[in-house]
Amino acid sequence: MTIRIFIPRDAAAVACGADDIARAIAAATQKAKLKADIVRNGSRGMLWLEPLMEVEDNGVRYAFGPMTEADASKIVASLAKTPASKIKHALALGPTEQIPFFKKQTRLTFARCGITDPVSLADYEAHGGYKGLERALAIKPIEIVEEVTKSGLRGRGGAGFPTGIKWKTVHDTPMGQQKYIVCNADEGDSGTFADRMIMEGDPYVLVEGMTIAGIAVGATKGYIYLRSEYPHAEIALNEAIRNARAAGLLGPNVAGSAHAFDLEVRMGAGAYVCGEETSLLESLEGKRGLVRAKPPLPAHKGLFGQPTVINNVLSLAAIPYILSEGAKAYYDYGMGRSRGTMPIQLAGNIKHGGLFETAFGISLGELVDDIGGGTHSGRAVKAVQVGGPLGAYFPRSHFDTPFDYEAFAARDGLIGHAGVVVFDDTANMAKQARFAFHFCAAESCGKCTPCRIGAVRGRETMDKIIAGQNTDANLAVVEDLCNTMKFGSLCALGGFTPYPVSSALNHFPEDFGRPARKLPAAAE
Amino acid sequence: MTAFEPWSEERTSSIVAAHTHLEGPLMPILHAIQEAFGFVPEAAIPVIARDLNLSRAEVHGVVTFYHDFRREPAGRKIIKVCRAEACQSMGCESLVKHAEDRLGIECGGTTADGRVTFETIYCLGLCATAPSAMVDGKIIGRLDTAKLDKILSETGA
């Protein structure tokens, strides 16, 4: 009997030694004369356990991790006599899907990630893949758009704009002209890696989602704009695209239909601002990534001046589920105007870091304390930054905030791309505020003055505050700069840099040489 | 690390020609140029501009906009350490300081003997296994002083 052994090809696993462990597993199986299939799967998302090895036994996968080469060799050697379920080892974790972090999730977008061989089309189809496309081809394009609108899906890149409305706008532009689907895979926010994980762990779901988008709006060409920091995702995507093309799922007649659609991966070059959609389009056109003024909207005049749907990886990857299971199935998850699930990324100084897909509505405290297990260092949590470098720092007193676009906005924060970065009590929030300005200065495209100049002045002023010079007067300058940037910048880079700065200052004034804030008695 | 080709006009032109069928070919061309020569030589700019019918200023503008494109050859080993928030929360700044001290250069520089280029990168998407780094294109998670020292020792620093 052939045993199936899984060791991820996901970059986070590889960065912790998964390639070496895969070689050790192969050597150990040969030595033990074990018949084994070694599958390089995606990651299950429990990244503190990576590299996570799994061994199948009677259809159940047993987890072992975090693996070392020596442990992997030892465990594999013992498989010759003992089934995986009976192996006693310090790193044996039992059935993977019974691990609480995994069991508590609602995996719609990430349903296959970590389970299948990411580049095997047969595996994808065996696990429900391309069912969404099948349905999309059976209904009218406008019905696809309506389905997406009814699902309540909002842009997962950060802005939260209803995806269906974007699609409708492009759908309604005259037919017969070139239209484009562009996938924003420029996942630059620190603390986020969901795009990377799905592109490496289930690339076909993105290919299928983009194909459906193309059919819905009448676009024949799609581009995935991928950041250059993600070389493993590039490999997986290109392999998936090649296989899909060979199977006739991309090309002049998608799945034998009259619809043409093809895809190309394009690499960015290390510019954070290219995650802003109009800057991304400029970059794709081969220009400096300068932000465009809107209007015109990309839906009317996007890539090369043509009508363009530009969506985040997670938005497009949610589409196959919505089509195959129906809008209602997706809409039934979530709260308020935040429908469906969100792949939340727990990162930074956290004990159980990883990807946690769940319906909107879970509280920040539950995510950090219960799911994440508190800090990695074991010290107290001081602050949590949600939504990347442009997201607000929340103190513990905000841990009752539910994960919902509007609830975060009401507390002067944002969900963004749902990265949650935890800091322990050694963090200095004045330094974090300085970094927010520094990052904005380094990454500003330079087109608008508030961002280009404001960020540099903000960093300089924060340096003075940190050095204790004229604290009050300089803090007044920072507050003024924040206002100018927030209301005067062309895009979210300059416009949102004030979020981390103001939140750090408001919640942690003692780090800025101001008296500590008296916390209101329990708000509830 | 890979050996790079010496710059030549013919090779530059042939790289451009291999990409002109693409829509918006400039970014893929610049990536290919850097892959071939290790950087984007000043002399390549007028060649690309001529072949694509762009102005030299336009090509120069694109080359200088993006952090990835080098205008000079890098050191023989390229070490990039992530210094974004998730890695900060796990102490990347002390690792940066440690490397700067051992290499005798500031982050963003190349050692005088051309052995090492040491740079900042903003986010490798390995934020739950922080701090992280990329060494000659190879990614490394859970970076600590011991792992960093091993990398630095390999460079002879």
Q: What is the pLDDT of residue A519?
A: 59
Alpha carbon A492 to its chain centroid, in Å, reads 18
Nearest-Cα distance to chain B for A312, in Å, is 16
The residue-averaged pLDDT of A237-255 equals: 98
Nearest-Cα distance to chain A for B112, in Å, is 25
Residue B27 vs residues A265, A509, B18, B30, B48: alpha-carbon distances, Å: 12, 44, 13, 5, 11
CATH of the domain at A446: 1.20.1440.230
Residue B21 contacts A where some CB pair is shorter than 8 Å: no
Sort out which chain B residues have CB atoms less than 8 A from A388's CB and list them: 85
Please say if the pLDDT value at position A69 is more than 90.
yes
Sort out which chain B residues have CB atoms less than 8 A from A231's CB and list them: 137
User: A12 pLDDT band (50/70/90 cuts)?
Assistant: very high
B129 → closest Cβ in A12, A188, A288? A12
Burial class (CB in 10 A: 0-12, 13-18, 19+), A83: middle
- Does residue A340 sit in the same domain as residue A311? no
Residue ending a domain, among A43, A71, A103, is A103
- Does residue A232 sit in the same domain as residue A311? yes
Q: Which chain A residue has its CA at the smallest distance from B26's CA?
A: A286
CB proximity under 8 Å: B 43-62 to A: 58, 61-62
Which tokens hold the place of A133? 């496309």
Residue ending a domain, among A409, A424, A439, is A424
CB-based contact A269 B127, cutoff 8 Å: no
Residue with tokens 């520089």: B109
Nearest-Cα distance to chain A for B6, in Å, is 23
Q: What is the pLDDT of residue A520?
A: 55
Q: What is the DSSP string of A457-487?
A: HHHHHHHHHHTTSSHHHHHHHHHHHHHHHHH
Do A269 and A143 form a contact (C-beta atoms < 8 A)? no
Across chain A, mean pLDDT equals 96
Does residue A520 fall inside a structural domain? Answer: no
Please say if the pLDDT value at position A524 is more than 50.
no
Q: What is the pLDDT of residue A60?
A: 97
The residue-averaged pLDDT of B39-43 equals: 98
CB-based contact B127 A271, cutoff 8 Å: no
Nearest CA among A226, A231, A238 for reference residue A184: A226
- Does residue A318 sit in the same domain as residue A220? yes
Q: What is the pLDDT of residue A522?
A: 45
CATH of the domain at A174: 3.40.50.11540
CATH of the domain at A365: 3.10.20.600
Edge-to-edge strand ranges of the sheet holding A3-6: A36-39, A3-6, A53-57, A60-64, A92-95
Q: What is the pLDDT of residue A517?
A: 73
Nearest CA among B52, B12, B56, B55 for reference residue B32: B12
User: Which has more confidence, A520 or A488?
Assistant: A488
B84 → closest Cβ in A190, A270, A304? A190
Does residue A326 fall inside a structural domain? Answer: yes
- Does residue A135 sit in the same domain as residue A271? yes
B125 → closest Cβ in A196, A266, A353? A196
CB proximity under 8 Å: B 119-138 to A: 121-130, 132, 134, 137
Q: What is the pLDDT of residue A403?
A: 97
The residue-averaged pLDDT of A79-89 equals: 94
Does residue A517 fall inside a structural domain? Answer: no
A50 → closest Cβ in B86, B122, B129? B129
- Does residue A419 sit in the same domain as residue A357? yes
Nearest-Cα distance to chain A for B53, in Å, is 13
Residue ending a domain, among A380, A406, A424, is A424
Does residue A289 fall inside a structural domain? Answer: yes
Sort out which chain B residues have CB atoms less than 8 A from A270's CB and list them: 66-68, 121-122
- Does residue A90 sit in the same domain as residue A145? no
- Does residue A398 sit in the same domain as residue A291? no
User: B155 pLDDT band (50/70/90 cuts)?
Assistant: confident
Please state, in angstroms and rounded to a whole number, the distance separating the CA atoms of residues A216 and A254. 13
CB-based contact A432 B85, cutoff 8 Å: yes
User: B157 pLDDT band (50/70/90 cuts)?
Assistant: confident
Does residue A355 fall inside a structural domain? Answer: yes
* Domain range enclosing A388: 334-424
Mutate to test the interface with B, among A190, A350, A377 (most CBs of B within 10 A): A190
- Does residue A284 sit in the same domain as residue A183? yes
Residue B107 contacts A where some CB pair is shorter than 8 Å: no
Residue with tokens 């842009």: A155
Q: Alpha helix (H) ranges present in B20-120? A: 26-37, 44-52, 56-65, 85-88, 92-103
- Does residue A263 sit in the same domain as residue A180? yes
Angle at B70 between CA B65 and CA B76, to 5 degrees: 155
Supply the DSSP symbol for A341. Answer: E
Q: What is the pLDDT of residue B2?
A: 63
- Does residue A142 sit in the same domain as residue A223? yes
Domains of chain B: 9-65 (no CATH), 77-154 (3.40.30.10)
CATH of the domain at A26: 3.40.30.10
Q: What is the DSSP string of A390-428?
A: GSPEE-GGGTT-BS-HHHHHHTT---TT-EEEEEETT--
CB-based contact B128 A424, cutoff 8 Å: no
Q: Tens of pLDDT along A145-175? A: 999 999 999 999 988 999 999 999 999 999 9
Do B105 and B111 form a contact (C-beta atoms < 8 A)? yes
Domains of chain A: total: 4
Does residue A126 fall inside a structural domain? Answer: yes
Does residue A324 fall inside a structural domain? Answer: yes
User: A404 pLDDT band (50/70/90 cuts)?
Assistant: very high
Does residue A502 fall inside a structural domain? Answer: yes
A15 → closest Cβ in B58, B65, B126? B126
Q: Tens of pLDDT along A319-365? A: 999 999 999 999 999 999 999 999 999 999 999 999 999 999 999 99
Q: What is the pLDDT of residue B101?
A: 97
Non-local (6+) Cβ contacts of A129 within 8 A are A112, A121, A204, A205, A208, A320
Which tokens hold the place of A290? 């300068």
Least confident of A1-5, A389-393, A450-454: A1-5
Please say if the pLDDT value at position A523 is more than 50.
no
- Does residue A226 sit in the same domain as residue A343? no
Q: Tens of pLDDT along B100-130? A: 999 999 999 999 999 999 999 999 999 999 9
- Does residue A319 sit in the same domain as residue A205? yes
